[in-house]
Structure 1
Amino acid sequence: MTDQSQDGKDRGLSDAELQDLVASTDTGGREPSNRSVALLIAGTALVWSLFQLWIAQPMLWFGQYLPVFNASQTRPIHLMFAVFLAFLAYPAFKNSPRDRVPVVDWILAIAAAACAFYVFAFSDHLAVTARSGLPTETQVIIGAAGLVLLLEASRRALGPALTIVGGLFLLYAYFGTGWLIPELIEHEGLSFTSLINAQWLDTAGVFGIPLGVSTAFVFLFVLFGSLLDKAGAGNYFIKLAFAGLGHLRGGPAKAAVVGSAMTGLISGSSIANVVTTGTFTIPLMKRVGFTSEQAGSVEVASSVNGQIMPPVMGAAAFLMVEFIGISYVEVIKHAFIPAVISYIALVYIVHLEALKKDMPALGEAKSFLGMIVKTFIGFVVFGVGFTALIYGVHALEAAVPSLTAPIMMSLLGLAYLWLVAVAARQPDLEADDPNDPEIKIPTVGEVYATGLHYILPIFVLIWFLMVEQQSPAKSAFYATALMLFIIVTQKPLKAIFRGNAGDIGGQISEGFSDLIEGLIAGARNMIGIGVATAAAGIIVATVTKTPIGTELAGLVEQLSGGILILMLIFVGIFSLILGMGLPTTANYIVVSSLMASVVVSLGAQEGLIVPLIAAHLFVFYFGIMADVTPPVGLASFAAAAVSGGDPIKTGFTAFFYSLRTVALPFLFIYNPTLILYGVDLGTTGGILQAVFIFIVATIAMLLFAAATQGYFLAKSRIHETAGLLVVAFTLFVPGFWLNMLQSPFLDIPPAQFEQAVADAPAGSRLRLQIEGPDFNTGETASTTLVMDIEGEGTAQERIDASGLLLFPEGEVVRLDEPMFGTPSAEKLADFDFYADTPVRLASIQAPRERMSKYVFYIPALALLALIVLMQRRRQTKPAF
């Protein structure tokens, strides 16, 4: 056991220094001593939050009195607030004054805000000049100044990474050729005027989709999280995690994992997550036997995983909606299983660490297996209750449609009053001191009732997103509106229920103070994200205007020698490098803009059909690993600052704990059903299939975790570790072994294409191997095109529906340019249909009847049983 004084020595930074670390990263580290300046910064942040709530409210009741802004007008205002606050809140350098704002920063703040405001104020003039290809000299000067100031704001708020990347992309777009630019991605270069027009004056660069998502969706979710945290939900979630898990072996580490998962709901920053939960969990982990590096690594791995956890996913979920063109519910459906099994595996990893080191429990030890059973029962009860509520609301809508909304609002209000009354019977939760020599782990019964009303706005958010299927912006607005009401009323209501009505005036005042502080904190948390999404728009515009987006696949293919697994490894490494030093939102924009299409095209070249959502999740997972991995590893450095451990060792240990997160993207590239791709959750069969996939994937991930930890029932020998990896891989991708025994497709000669289409049953798919000259290089390229067979029409009608134009010439089937607007036209856009060498149909593959791939579960489970028998002889501790 480590005493308090020793923990104080081990801690790398004091609490004040840790808060300064978070502030300097997320909200700005400057605290002006001049009250007027401090009020100006706070007031600007407050006005920004109020502006975002104003433009987000869905009723537009003010439309007849005030102008209603469109997206091209709200984005510049959003950026105007972000850059103005960035220069005032973030010092230029480490040694720059923090107690005052230098004159230079005032000038830069006003100039940057003016450049953004110009785009708003003169949007009509820009539409007929710059956006029509005729920018004026004044517009070019303002745009150039805006880009430079944006990159400087990015450097201050986010560090140098995005500024350097953005600057390099601007130079590449301008010059096009040079000794540092590979021949494969060379181009003629854009003129200075064209460059500024594309990046600042048009609607596809800085003011493009990423900034639009930040304006419409991300701000509201960050504000929602800030208000939740200010109301006390963050402390409630951590206490609840400790109440449920703290009594187990390695309980503080398990609580850190679950607490970070719940905190991920209200934090879009892995660094803030590390410091918020880590200041309490890391010292306690060290007290039960984790080293400084292990304690920090558990916190890092669990906090970074918060970025892949629905419903927010570090705001990347909303960007995926825009980039991929699928609904928000679909994004959540695909992201859910990988995120959940990753967290379950991390809990199991720390459990194995506790077994290996025979760590004691804090307080009276309880059963891990019992906790799992209780959690499962809780989920079942919640699921049944939620389903019953859905059917009840649908019945109400059918009976009295006009009264449904008032009735539901009344019931929600009554539920809130009841839950606050329940909370008032318990004392308010106080933050514990982790260095206190006597740690008392609370029980779930003591904690859960104190904050159940915090679940209501989360419930409202999920209800509107999942059940009503409203837009993320509208759903976030309703949840935030409820949160505004809760933060103002919870303290006065508690005072009334506790019989302290005489103090109600002071409690109302405290409620409004919390509201204003939450609104200000939400805006300050958005400074970096607003600047990041705008700066990332530079990369998006460059990818659009230059060949780099289409030619990166060729570069990766050259480096890998055409071997698919090596290609994916290179893409993962590139994504990790591109994500270094970037917040989650900017990270995803950069890696998805450059690398997601590369995964799809490389897979198609090798005959592997990769769903676009799988490719985006692949690069996203690797991008966020940059927060873990040295040499940057911002979350690892933050955790080391809390634990007093070595940041590099912490980073490598955290990466080792995160191997499951590294493995998952490869698995759902080869087996997309892991992300429920192609699984219809609207049917009973689809739901049962999803449950089966979840159970099997969870078991497989636990076995993978045991293999990487070298411990299952006992310390594993090399052959047992290898066996566990084989079993885990087979459970994840059983089709791999089946493909080795039986080809999944029948090869059909191209000349028989029309007959193959006629014979294919409705709803099936044919795979077409297309070869021809590449439009950019002229060299022969190939890709795999999936043709969906729709309806019961003739072969020609089915071919016409696909958009393909085929011309048989003996044994050769030549392709002409597909019909415009069809899926085939988009997928074959890289072929040159007007070259001397024709684009042709190289081969056809039709699905064949095979035995079930799940047959391979039998030998896998037999191998697992053998490993269990071997380890049971050496087992000295219970497995759970």
Structure 2
Amino acid sequence: MSKEWENETAEELLKEELGLIRDKRPIDRILFGTIAVLWALFQLALPRLVVLDSVTVRAIHLAFAVALVYLGYPISKHKRRIKFLHAVDRIPIIDFFLAAAAVTAVLYVVFDYEGIASRAGRPIGRDLVFGFVMILLVLEASRRVIGMPLGTIAVLFTAYAFLGPYLPHFIAYRGVSVSKYLSQIALSTEGIFGIPLDVSANTVFLFVLLGALLNRTGAGFYFNDLAISLLGRYKGGPAKASVVSSGLTGLVSGSSIANVVTTGTFTIPLMKKVGYPGRIAAATEVAASTNGQLMPPIMGAAAFIIAEYLSLPYMEVVRAAAIPAFVSYFALFYITHLEASKRGMEGLPKEECPPFWTVLKGGFHNLIPLFVLLYELMIMRHSPKLSAFTAIVTLFVVHLAREIFLAVRKKESPLKASWAVVLLVGKGMIEGSRNMLTVALATATAGIVVGIVNMGIGSMIVQVVEYMAMGNIFLLLFITAVASLIIGMGLPTTATYIVMASITVPIILQLGGGMGIIIPAIAAHLFCFYFGILADDTPPVGLAAYTAAAIAGSDAIKTGIQGFIYDLRTAVIPFMFIFNPDLVLQGVRGWPVSMLIFVMAIFGAFAFTNAVQGWFLRQNRWYEIPVLLLASFILFNPGFFAGLFGIAHELRFMLYPAGLAVYAGVYLMQKVSLKAAV
């Protein structure tokens, strides 16, 4: 398998995800690009220049999205006999018609806003027709850009809403009328135009746009070079660099596949060069790239939706997610060290690693917008969308000033350099709009599910799921985790989170309270969020695993399985913070205590990783594994053992030394046995 073919396959997967299908004819590229740039400009105008009501913003946002989907994505990616229906090399007439119809149907709530508001709950025939057409075309757009699963879930919920009265008694539901269904789903802010779409329109777009612009200006490659220069020379250096560069790229990229292609193209061959098998190299990159959505301060789109659902400042969500995210990355970093130790590998030769300070200075301008973003979010406490807007403006100004300075120094035309920056930003806007299509359609289609749940079906679903869990919180969490992984195989993270949170979060909180376990709402939401993310590398469908396998020349299924094994260190963390709110900093105040919890959680993750990987200083013996798991459990949740031994909850942190002692005991045993062997 040639390297060219491998990279080509990875690029094809990324191309399909971003909608770069119909880009062969210049006129198609110009049309698609113009609409994409207009969408980006509209979104940029919202924080500072334009004031519109929320329904109008959501409708215009969705109208741009459906137009780009119908123009950019064919009905099917496979060639069929009816070419005018399945054209992939041009935009057929039927898709122009569908795009126009979809835009008109979506914007109907804007055109007749006052009339619809005055007829709330009593739609006339015209309302029903436009609502029905909009739902159909949104579902079809969702199928084109995301695939069948999310639309299928929406259709199944719809069928349940109408067929409820005719179902067996234990799952029966009173049912809804066509008028009630269309009013709720298409003509109100309880369905398609609900909170998820609002978050997509008002917040997520600008962060995705910032990520695309940073990517266009070379930030992804800069982070990769920075990580290689810092860590490449050490044992398993390229793998450690992969973890760091993917974490940094995760700051600006909401896509696991884009992250794999950006960093993996360089790190996977380097990992193979120092001795990692292709499967291990690809799995390391997949695990690192998948977790990029966990990284504060940007995280994934679902994090903004959590903030809206819980009516929390976004920085509170970031604060709660910080320890689990960083612990997860520390644990993956440790996994790369263990794999290198197992195989007796070394790092890259010093001459192949660029000088750190040279790399840092050469691309320092890429860090300025991120510093501005952090300053706006954390110091100025501005809203996320205003912070992202300021960071985007900063990026443009910094890049423009840099290019003009370089042009003057080289005695070239500053005007030409300025125009090149404008073109670069334009391409970044197109890329940002493409990246948003999945999020916009996922939030709109998931809004159908949320709207139906809010009609009263939610209580019935809660009863069914509670019956399946037999009233046991542990079984319920396991069901939620498995369901998230299965549903997430075919859905984006955001859609998976919305569907699972709508169904399971109320039950998690209710059952926990019934068992005397106080579970913070944000912990329950983050639990669904984490397992939705992990689905990106879950075989047999994890696209991130397919992408990395294509680059590494390894088997995609084996890569996905290995990546999932690595992600077990992430999978255990949500179970820990459900039962130990300290990990999401609920009720914790002050930096000293927060840092103590963070450091102990890192050691807990290390102990768990040692147990799962079967290696510490040497291969673990069977009796050492339960000891390591015990150390991990104590360090993750000292409160449990405090309750077990009758120690006051306020003194739970005194058990941390016990956990460290158990962990150190295994270390000393292995060290002694290694010396004896020598």
Same fold, TM exceeding 0.5? yes
Name the counterpart of 1:162. Answer: 150
Mapped to 2, the partners of 1:725 and 1:248 lie a distance apart of 28
User: Deviations for 1:675-705, whole angstroms, at most 9, x for unmatched residues?
Assistant: 111112xxxxx21111111111111111111
1:227–1:487 Cα contact (<8 Å) kept: no
**TM-score normalised by the chain length of structure 1:** 0.74
In structure 1, what residue type is equivalent to 2:281?
A
User: What is the CA-CA distance between 1:78 and the residue it aligns to?
Assistant: 0.6
Query: Is contact 1:237-1:262 (8 Å) kept?
Result: yes
**Distance in 2 separating the partners of 1:857 and 1:518:** 48
User: What do the CA deviations read for 1:428-472 (whole angstroms, capped 9, x no partner)?
Assistant: xxxxxxxxxxx8221212200011122111111111111111111
Q: CA deviation at 1:577?
A: 2.3
The structure 2 residue matched to 1:321, chosen from 292, 300, 307, is 307
Corresponding residue of 1:355 = 341
Please point out which of 632, 635, 659 is paired with 1:860: 659
- Say whether residues 1:188 and 2:188 are aligned partners: no
Task: State the structure with more CA Rg.
Answer: 1
Per the alignment, residue 403 of structure 1 pairs with none
Structural mapping, 1:155-304, within 5 Å: 155-178=143-166, 183-304=169-290
Q: Verify the 8 A CA contact 2:233 2:349 in the aligned structure 1.
A: yes
Higher RCO (CA < 8 A, seq sep 6+)? 2
State the superposition RMSD in angstroms. Answer: 1.9
- Partner Cα distance (1:655, 1:16) in 2: 25
For residues 321-470 of structure 1, what are the structure 2 equivalents within 5 Å?
A: 321-364=307-350, 440-470=352-382
Find the partner of 1:610 among 519, 536, 545: 519
- Provide closer, same or farther for how the CA distance between residues 291 and 53 of structure 1 changes in structure 2, counting only shifts above 3 A: same
Check 1:609–1:360 CA distance in 2 against 1; reply closer, same or farther (3 A cut).
same
Q: Is the 8 A contact 1:300 1:635 kept in 2?
A: yes
Aligned with 1:619 (options 524, 528, 532) = 528
Q: Show the counterpart of 1:398.
A: none
Letter in 2 for 1:446: T
SS at match of 1:501: coil
Count of aligned pairs between the two proteins:
669
CA distance in 2 between counterparts of 1:715 and 1:225 reads 42
Match of 1:559 in 2: 468
User: 711, 722, 734: which is aligned to 2:615?
Assistant: 711
SS of residue paired to 2:122: coil
Letter in 2 for 1:74: V
- Corresponding residue for 2:32? 41
Tell me the CA shift for residue 858 of structure 1: 4.2
Structure number having the greater strand percentage: 1
Q: Deviations over 1:241-266 (max 9, x none)?
A: 11111111111111111111011111
2:433 to 505, 519, 523: 523
Give the aligned partner of residue 672 of structure 2: 873
Q: Is the 8 A contact 1:48 1:81 kept in 2?
A: yes
Match of residue 594 from structure 1: 503
Q: State the partner residue of 1:691.
A: 595
Q: How far apart, CA to CA, are the structure 2 residues paired with 1:11 and 1:165?
A: 39
Does the 8 Å contact 1:86/1:528 carry over to 2?
no
Shift of the 501–649 alpha-carbon distance from structure 1 to 2, 3 Å rule, reads: same
| Residue 93 (str. 1) matches residue 76 (str. 2) | yes
User: Unaligned stretches of 5+ in structure 1?
Assistant: 1-8, 63-67, 365-438, 681-685, 745-848
Do residues 123 (structure 1) and 106 (structure 2) align?
Answer: no
| Secondary structure at 1:632 match in 2 | coil
2:577 is paired with a residue whose SS is helix
Q: Quick one: distance in 1 between partners of 2:559 and 2:3? A: 14
Q: Give the aligned residue type for 1:511.
A: V
Between the aligned partners of 1:298 and 1:876, the Cα distance in structure 2 is 31
Counterpart Cα distance in 1 of 2:237 and 2:166? 57
- Could you say which structure has the higher helix fraction? 2
| 1:105 and 2:91 correspond | no
Q: Measure, in 2, the Cα distance between the counterparts of 1:701 and 1:10.
A: 38
- Whether contact under 8 Å (1:20, 1:29) holds in the other structure is no
Other-structure match for 1:135: 123
CA distance in 2, matches of 1:850, 1:562: 26
Q: CA deviation at 1:325?
A: 1.2
Cα distance per residue 1:115-167 (max 9 Å; x no partner): 112122211221112xx211111111111111111111011111112111111
Which of 570, 590, 600 matches 2:479?
A: 570
CA distance in 2, matches of 1:655, 1:645: 15
CA contact (8 A) 2:537 2:543 kept: yes
Distance in 2 separating the partners of 1:314 and 1:553: 27
Instruction: Provide, for residues 74-116 of structure 1, a one-character-per-residue CA deviation record: whole Å limited to 9, x for no partner.
Output: 1111110000100111111122332201122111111111111
Equivalent residue number for residue 757 of structure 1: none
Does the alignment pair 1:79 with 2:62? yes
Q: Is the 8 A contact 2:250 2:259 kept in 1?
A: yes
| Superposed displacement of residue 184, structure 1 | 4.1
1:562 and 1:12 map into 2 onto residues whose CA distance is: 54
Q: Is the contact made by 2:233 and 2:348 (CA closer than 8 Å) also made in structure 1?
A: yes
Superimposed CA distance per residue, residues 341-372 of structure 1 (whole angstroms, 9 cap, x where no aligned partner): 100110000110000000121104xxxxxxxx
8 Å CA contact 2:403, 2:421 repeated in 1: yes
d(CA) in 2 for partners of 1:122, 1:712: 66
1:728-807 map, 5 Å: 728-742=632-646
- Counterpart CA distance in 2 for 1:665 and 1:12 is 39
- Alignment correspondent of 2:403: 491
Q: Distance in 2 between matches of 1:851 and 1:120?
A: 55
Report whether the alignment pairs 1:114 with 2:114.
Answer: no
Q: Is the 8 A contact 2:21 2:72 kept in 1?
A: yes
Q: Distance in 2 between matches of 1:40 and 1:719?
A: 65
Deviations 1:173-229 (A, max 9, x none): 2222455xx744421111112111111111211011111111100111111111111
In structure 1, how many angstroms separate the alpha carbons of the residues matched to 2:624 and 2:434?
51
- Residue 496 of structure 2 corresponds to residue 505 of structure 1: no
> Hey, what does 2:43 align to over in structure 1?
52
Counterpart position of 2:545: 636
Which amino acid in the other structure matches residue 669 of structure 2?
Answer: M
Contact persistence 1:87–1:153 (CA under 8 A) = yes
Query: Who is 1:70 aligned against?
Result: 53
Q: Which moved more, 1:654-663 or 1:117-126?
A: 117-126
